[in-house]
Amino acid sequence: MNSPLTRLARLPLAFTAVLCASLLASVARSDELPRVAIFATGGTIAGVQATPGAAAYKPGVLTLDHLLSKLPGLEKVARLDGEQIANIASQDITAELWLHLARRAAERLADPDVAGVVITHGTDTMEETAWFLRLVLRSEKPVVLTGAMLPATDPAADGPVNLRSAVATAASPAARGYGPLLLLNGELHSARDVRKTATEAIDTFQSPNDGPVGSATPAGPVFTVSANSLRPAPGDGFDLAALDAAKLPRVAIVSAHGDVDGTVVDALLALPAERRPAGIVLSGVGNGNASAPLLAALERASREGIIVVRSARAGRGLVNRNMEVDDDKLGWIAARALSPQKARILLVLGLTRTRDLAELQRLFDEA
């Protein structure tokens, strides 16, 4: 029986030359493809239902390898390096995981061979992770967070197209300079303004103040906003190497609502010193307001050294200083464009740098 090599040797020389040239060309082409690092953390994109289409599902089950195995042709878009950082529902995200993810992403972004990073993530806290990464990563390269509103086993699963589009965006030089981007439903959002606005709708992610910065499909991104028009990270960002999850200041969010009093704040003040927050973010009604009893409780917290930031539950618009609340008199900070959940993250990191009220307000003004 002739060996394959013997059979190859007998082919006409011209045919062999063409075969080798096309093999070399395909190897060269794959070497020319951009390299994209993908970090998987879990979420609905990796979720499974007991039966396809069932309402109930479990997020954070399937592995990144499994998700990628369902995306034939992706190897023609980029050379992929996958890493399973975690497999959780993102409501369980922690500061430890944020720092680990940020450090791994920073390492891969520093590799000249890496064009960009994709992070698959649950949608519940994706906006917070994007904002945290905005504050601690310094690369111009694309970092694209994506996920899904329907589990991988659902007949209408949106994860596959989101992941294809995220890889194409991370591989695209056009996506440089935007900071971390959040991609779902064909839209690209910058980290500062984007928020999950609906419990189950596919178009849940919106940027109520700024709007999306572009759109994305498996063919790549199209930007409608230039990267240099985006606000830089406040305070020029924070030094990732200096951050220790165990030493990050505690910051709580307290909600205002009708008939609210100061019970929650007073409960925080009654905690033993090591568990008391260093800061409290008010998720206020209107433009960052609260009832007189809650304001009085927050004033007690200030007098005990807790930094108070006023944000708002409204979801759109700014919280500016000295509107209905006299921030100057109370020594409080206005969150400006940041939602309560993002204001909390900025205050946590800001308190690793300063307790000066003017410096802290400047961070929120720059955000």
Min. distance of Cβ 49 from ligand DAS in angstroms?
A: 12
Min. distance of Cβ 42 from ligand DAS in angstroms?
A: 6
Q: Are 57 and 48 in contact (CB under 8 A)?
A: yes
Q: Are 39 and 119 in contact (CB under 8 A)?
A: yes
Which of 90, 153 has the CB closer to ligand DAS? 90
Q: Is the four-CA dihedral 254, 255, 258, 264 of positive or negative sign?
A: negative
Min. distance of Cβ 89 from ligand DAS in angstroms?
A: 4
Min. distance of Cβ 297 from ligand DAS in angstroms?
A: 32
By CB under 6 A, the count of residues binding ligand DAS is 10
CA nearest to 156, candidates 267, 27, 54, 17: 54
Give the residue nearest to ligand DAS (CB): 122
Beta bridge partners of 162: none
Q: By CB under 6 A, which span of 17-25, 116-124, 247-255, 345-353 interacts with ligand DAS?
A: 116-124
Q: Which two tokens stand for residue 311?
A: 């944000």
* C-alpha–C-alpha distance, residues 96 and 94, integer Å: 5
Which of 59, 179 has the CB closer to ligand DAS? 59
**Applying CB under 6 A, which of residues 116, 122, 212, 218 lies at the interface with ligand DAS?**
122
* Binding of ligand DAS by 159 (CB under 6 A): no
354 an active-site residue? no
* C-alpha–C-alpha distance, residues 18 and 74, integer Å: 26
**Applying CB under 6 A, which of residues 38, 43, 114, 139 lies at the interface with ligand DAS?**
43
Tokens 């410096």 found at = 359
**Applying CB under 6 A, which of residues 36, 38, 49, 59 lies at the interface with ligand DAS?**
59
Cα 82 off chain centre by: 18
Q: Are 193 and 210 in contact (CB under 8 A)?
A: yes
Which of 35, 195 has the CB closer to ligand DAS? 195
AA letter at 213: V
Cα 271 off chain centre by: 31
Q: Are 100 and 119 in contact (CB under 8 A)?
A: no
What Cα–Cα distance (Å) separates residue 128 from each residue in 86, 145, 210?
Answer: 17, 11, 17
* C-alpha–C-alpha distance, residues 340 and 318, integer Å: 12
DSSP of 296-359: HHHHHHHHTT-EEEEEESSSSS-B-TTSSS-HHHHT-EE-BT--HHHHHHHHHHHTTT---HHH
Which of 89, 256 has the CB closer to ligand DAS? 89
**Applying CB under 6 A, which of residues 116, 142, 147, 179 lies at the interface with ligand DAS?**
147
Min. distance of Cβ 230 from ligand DAS in angstroms?
A: 25
Q: Which of 44, 120, 125, 146 is catalytic?
A: 44
Which of 288, 340 has the CB closer to ligand DAS? 340
Which of 91, 354 has the CB closer to ligand DAS? 91
Site for ligand DAS in 199-218 (CB under 6 A): none
Site for ligand DAS in 82-101 (CB under 6 A): 89-91
Min. distance of Cβ 61 from ligand DAS in angstroms?
A: 11
Which of 90, 361 has the CB closer to ligand DAS? 90
**Applying CB under 6 A, which of residues 44, 49, 146, 190 lies at the interface with ligand DAS?**
44
Residue 240: phi and psi, rounded to 5, are -55, -35
Q: Which residues bind ligand DAS (CB under 6 A)?
A: 43-44, 59, 89-91, 122-124, 147
Which residues are identified as catalytic? 44
